[in-house]
Chains A and B, each alone.
Chain A
């Protein structure tokens, strides 16, 4: 499609333009910003939010929301770390099951998927509003994390596992590879598959979708399951990066992820938005975080600035979509 310099196209690229201006400003203001080590560091940090936000985007597209991702992330990271380090001991049967790195990671991923599926089940089976169902899960999963870890970090997880969070492959950090794969799969899902189309249709008009013979409940459960699985991926990456599963990991991650989704132009009322928009949103938040640290802005002011940027982004997006 040829790109004309119309206001509409400007609107389409405005978050990219904003990102470019942000980077330009930061590279002038700080000599540390535009260094390889800093940029890779930023990318590595963003990877986690991208994974979570991709799942969040799918949910928001169906006009739902998932507040539990931060807690699910912590629980899955802790389960992976715990299984890897201690395995499972059942003294009554004198049984010990050890876990390989792959086995532990799979167990963490399954946990996330199961919790996500539970969210979807509660929402569809009992018509609980997503906000409430996932708020409950936020608390439950955090509690389970505390029970599993006893409130202490699980550290010393071995070099093979740490590769997931700190390793390099073909000159690019492994977490960045992971998030790229997640994004590509999600773009494929939303653009090329039936489920993807159903996600947009349900968010756009649930009643018409149901009447069209779409199994709305099934699609929703799938979407919440995917989001849970992606929270687990994030949790495993965080754990591997720090060589430690923190019981307090992921607190308020759901807010960063909702912010990325919203800055990326996805409508909270569903049916409109895209994965690539969310990726841009996540990068903007990541670069902003990094820049504020480099510029020695106090952490208190950082929060104020971040909040205002989110508000501004949504106001601009609203005024753009008014014409539609």
Chain B
């Protein structure tokens, strides 16, 4: 076998979702015995590509060549049998089963009598654990292991099937120092056995240590690929960025204005590991100011918004002031009363009651005001709904239409309407345009700007840099639970922001 045998080739793959093209004519090749780094901003199409390679999305345009032949993966199990295994960022182990039971789940060895062959399975597991240098008994329950050890069990699972191609999605997001070294040793071993590895990570310094090749994705397109050797971090970053959003950058100068929201020394303890999710976060938002908050996955953006909104009262410390008044936010009820509104990241899970109508969703935050004599006033409720349906141009066949039947963009507008109805002073927006089409995005950008013009203070969390640059007056960068950078709109650029977001990890 030669050193540079191409194991898998992706040719002109396009994957469309309603309103969004996730992958746009992407091509790349993966070599056996090499580690290929897959790089790109959030939303660049990495996860879609991984899902196609591991058989989660069997339908797409374009072709995959695997071991020199056209291949089709009909599902994750099929991909696994053909030798492609993915290790997800979130671990997929069953906590109360033992290591052996987890590794053999769904492919248990049986004796000639049809009972499980525990002895043989235990022996195989022990061999795998030895090979991966994991000092744990095959009989220990998985939930008792440390996260890093669980990660290794996942790898053991992948090795059991004789995988040819192993995809690792942010494998170091949950592990630290020594565990990372073990993982890198394992990867070197796998390379020596001529396995191909696709390694996805935001931590560029890691990639320089272990990757041989790189592929950069941007906007669903494969921008460039090549060998890591000779590349610099700056060169890679400049390849990742470069997308433009065609929106009106604002001309107003809101630089110096009175602070509306002040956050002082906010800390949030982690519930899963030692240390803090948020460390000494302090910042201000002025009246009529739009502050963009950028950070990579796991930087603590969502946790920051949730802490301000009072969702982690038991684990957080620090001070939140609105208009100079300290507010004691220990629940959403208090936060709303103080003038805060939070548009959550996942609108289906946290934003909407999907089974209720558009009207009832919009009125959910302000039912108290719609009451007269203990009865809900239907006329007032309809007026409220009509007002926001026309103001935000929510496209719905009727105001009683169930929220689940609306498009993503219109669902997001319903969530916004619900919060605008509370007449907030400060709007916290978590990924306000995730998964919605380009027209709806533009409409939401315009709305954000208009609301700021009306005097609201707005914090926009986004993992899309062009979006942050398009709407923000000021940009904060977060990394590992800290604010690591601050830029005014005029001095900010994608390179500068991304460097701040990445640098703190090293």
Enumerate chain A interface residues (CB-CB to B < 8 A).
Answer: 192-194, 196-198, 200-201, 204-205, 207-215, 271-272, 324
- Residue in B351, B355, B364 whose beta carbon sits within 8 Å of that of A272 in the complex: B355
Would you call B438 an interface residue if the criterion is a C-beta within 8 Å of the partner chain's C-beta atoms? no
In the complex the two chains form, is B349's CB within 8 Å of A204's CB? Answer: no
| A194 and B371 contacting across the interface, CB-CB below 8 Å | yes
With contacts A200-B353, A207-B349 taken as known, whether A212 is within 8 angstroms of B376 at the C-beta atoms is no
Nearest CB of B to A4, in Å: 16
**Known contacts A210-B332, A215-B333; is-contact A205 B376 (Cβ 8 Å):** no
Chain A residues within an 8 Å CB radius of B342: 211
Interchain residue pairs A-B with the least CB separation, the first 4: A204-B353, A213-B336, A205-B353, A204-B355
Which A residue's beta carbon lies closest to that of B334? A213
Contact of A214 among B309, B349, B364, B376 (CB under 8 A): B364
Nearest B residue (CB) for A191: B376
Which residue, of B353, B368, B422, has the highest number of chain A Cβ atoms within 10 A?
A: B353
Complex contact B332–A208 (CB within 8 A): no
| Contact status of A193 and B374, CB under 8 A, knowing A212-B364, A213-B365, A214-B364 | yes
Tell me the B356-381 residues at the A interface (CB within 8 Å).
356, 360, 363-365, 367-368, 371, 374-376
- In the complex, whether B465 has a CB less than 8 A from a CB of chain A is no
With contacts A213-B332, A213-B333 known, is A197 near B367, CB below 8 A? yes
What residues of chain B lie closer than 8 Å to A210, measured between beta carbons?
Answer: 332
Q: For the complex formed, measure the closest distance between the CB of B388 and the CB atoms of chain A, giving whole angstroms.
A: 15
B151-203 interface with A by 8 A CB criterion: none
CA of A194 to CA of B381, assembled, Å: 12
Give the number of chain B interface residues (Cβ < 8 Å). Answer: 29
B364→A201 contact, CB < 8 A: yes
Contact with A along B399-426 (1 / 0, CB 8 A): 0001000000000000000100010000
Contacts of A211 in B (CB 8 A): 309, 311, 332, 342, 344, 350-351
In B300-337, the 8 Å CB interface with A consists of 309, 311, 332-333, 335-336
Which residues from chain B contact A272 at a C-beta distance below 8 Å?
355
Contacts of B376 in A (CB 8 A): 192-194, 196-197
> B354 an interface residue at 8 Å Cβ cutoff?
yes
Are A204 and B371 in contact (CB-based, < 8 A)?
no
Q: Are B352 and A208 in contact (CB under 8 A)?
A: yes
Partner pick for B356 among A193, A201, A207, CB 8 A cutoff: A201
List, in ascending order, chain A residues with CB within 8 A of B349's CB.
Answer: 205, 207-208
Give B contacts to A, CB under 8 Å: 309, 311, 332-333, 335-336, 342, 344, 349-356, 360, 363-365, 367-368, 371, 374-376, 402, 418, 422
Tell me whether A209 and B364 are in contact (CB under 8 A).
Answer: yes
Instruction: State how many angstroms separate the Cβ of A211 from the closest Cβ of chain B.
Output: 5
User: CB-CB < 8 A to A324: which residues of B?
Assistant: 402
Set of chain A residues within 8 Å of B332, measured between Cβ atoms: 210-213
On whether A204 and B344 interact (CB within 8 A), knowing A192-B376, A194-B367, A197-B364, the answer reads no
A127 smallest CB distance to B (angstroms):
14
Given A192-B375, A194-B367, A213-B333, verify A208-B350 contact (CB < 8 Å). yes
Whole-angstrom CA separation of A187 from B309 in the bound complex: 35
Question: Residue B354 contacts which of A192, A193, A204 (CB distance < 8 angstroms)?
Answer: A204
Residues of A within 8 A of B336 (CB): 213
A205 touches B367 (CB 8 A): no
Closest to B418 in A: A212
Minimum C-beta distance from B26 to chain A (A): 35
Contact A208 B365 (CB under 8 A): no
B46 → chain A, closest Cβ, in Å?
28
A182-B458 Cα distance, complex, nearest whole Å: 48
Contacts of B418 in A (CB 8 A): 212
Among B342, B351, B368, find the residue whose CB has the most chain A CB atoms closer than 10 A.
B351
- What chain B residues lie within 8 Å of A197 (beta carbons)? 360, 363-364, 367, 376
CB proximity of B304 to chain A, nearest CB, Å: 16
Whether B365 pairs with A212 at a CB distance below 8 angstroms is yes
- With both chains docked as a complex, state the minimum distance between the C-beta of B238 and any C-beta of chain A, in angstroms: 39
Bound Cα distance A190, B422 (Å): 23
Determine the distance from Cα of A277 to Cα of B353 in the docked complex, in whole angstroms.
22
CA distance A272 to B360 in the complex (A): 14
Contact flag A205-B354 (CB < 8 Å), given A197-B360, A213-B336, A214-B364: yes
